[in-house]
Structure 1
Amino acid sequence: MPRPTLRTVCAHRYVTPLREGGSLPAIIEADDQGLYVLKFRGAGQGPKALIAELVCGELARVAGLAVPEIVLVELEAELARTEPDPEIQDLIRASAGLNLALDYLPGSVTFDPLADQPAADIASAIVWHDAFVTNVDRTPRNSNLLMWHRRLWLIDHGAALYFHHSWDGHLDRAASPFALVRDHVLLPFAAALPEADQRMREAITPQAIADIVALIPDAWLDEPEVFADHAAHRQAYADYLTRRLAASHVFVEEAIRARSQLR
């Protein structure tokens, strides 16, 4: 399998904010004439949210799940001059440099668990993925799932990988069960979790993890007080995810237990 790569585009025009997101993501037009949903490095949790978007999105992709194309976006502070909203002006200026965006899916609609009932294999794979990356943001209130061309698409992984907000003992936490899986919007449909565990472990190998972590730009690795260099910082992500992969039975058993308690 070829190593994953990311394209880099330049933001050409700020189109509109998506105010349903807490960090004010926006639709932008890039210099390739494409429309993208931009995630600002100057918003919310800063570069850590972008790292989570990149790593989790590409892990899902390598496992065969549908994720909009992820691109790196160069954003010029000058783009703020054409925006009348002071909050957006400040956000653009604070995010000058390298950001992240997902391909905009025109006509997509938010997943509705009452109207859209995914197959057990797809639901189980997504539940497995979110337990693996400790994604707390796939609940009925905010599923971060889109229906587009009759397929489920995964978006918005910025709240995942929450271990990287505190590196103390992060490898010990890699084998945690992720009890919050009980709130996963797709858990009622995830009737094939053991089978998903085998499939996902075959797709998300330690080498795939290393290749994806290698995509994290230097500009987002800003913790010199913790890591000697960028290579050590990336290696910490790879070590955590590899250890968590090896302990997948822990979070799979937790998901099975949580599903057995649904009523």
Structure 2
Amino acid sequence: MILDKIARNCPSFVQNFKIQRELLKGGLKSIVNTNYNKSTTAGRQTKVMAAPVKSWETYFNDNRDRLVQQYEKKYSKIENKREIASDLNRKVAMCQGDITKLEIDAIVNAANSSLLGGGGVDGAIHRGAGPKLKEECRTLNGCNVGEAKITNGYNLLAKHVIHTVGPQGEKPDLLKSCYNSSLQLLRNKKLRTVAFPCISTGVYGYPQEPAAHVALSTVRTFLEENKDSVDQVIFCLFLPEDVTIYENLLQVYFPVA
């Protein structure tokens, strides 16, 4: 296939192409919760994923045999797993689909430094929110890499958008700062539910699995220190390979008994 040839020479281009293609389909598939609400936006019916979605603990127990086999097939030995904490396992979740269809307190936007919209998830969020989002973003004077700023959600189902600017290339300290800055804003604004996309793994070129390690490690540490201030952290994934990566690594950072 032509796409396979391009992938060998420019993997980040193909990654972004896949995301754009899925966004254009406009679908939302929950791999953790099949309970949808229906709502009408601008005369169109759209699927809304109810929050909270099914927890990681429940999802793992529902798919235990498959997930354990998948993990053991990928890794020759069991990685050092975190301590089992059921209270934390019930606070994380994963879903596959369009983050703009989540009806929660805040969704995180993988933004560029201008905060004025771009491609991929960034563009989808701006389109979904409508022009008032860009108007508010203009007042924020951009955002530095690794930092985060918050706006209203406007026409989105989410009440707020937390915009964070990821690093270009594999820079774990800056990527960790993206997640920490976003979570600190969530806590400071007394919001209870949040969804993250994969930050920096598209055209910014951060390898998917190392990025997932950073995301999960950072969220685990935050929840250990702030578990009473957050109800749910959702990892909203688009590509099938991201789903597999998170299914595997959630077993490391949020092991289930």
TM-score class, shorter:
under 0.3
Q: Which has the higher contact order (CA 8 A, sep 6+)?
A: 2
Which of structures 1 and 2 has the bigger CA Rg? 1
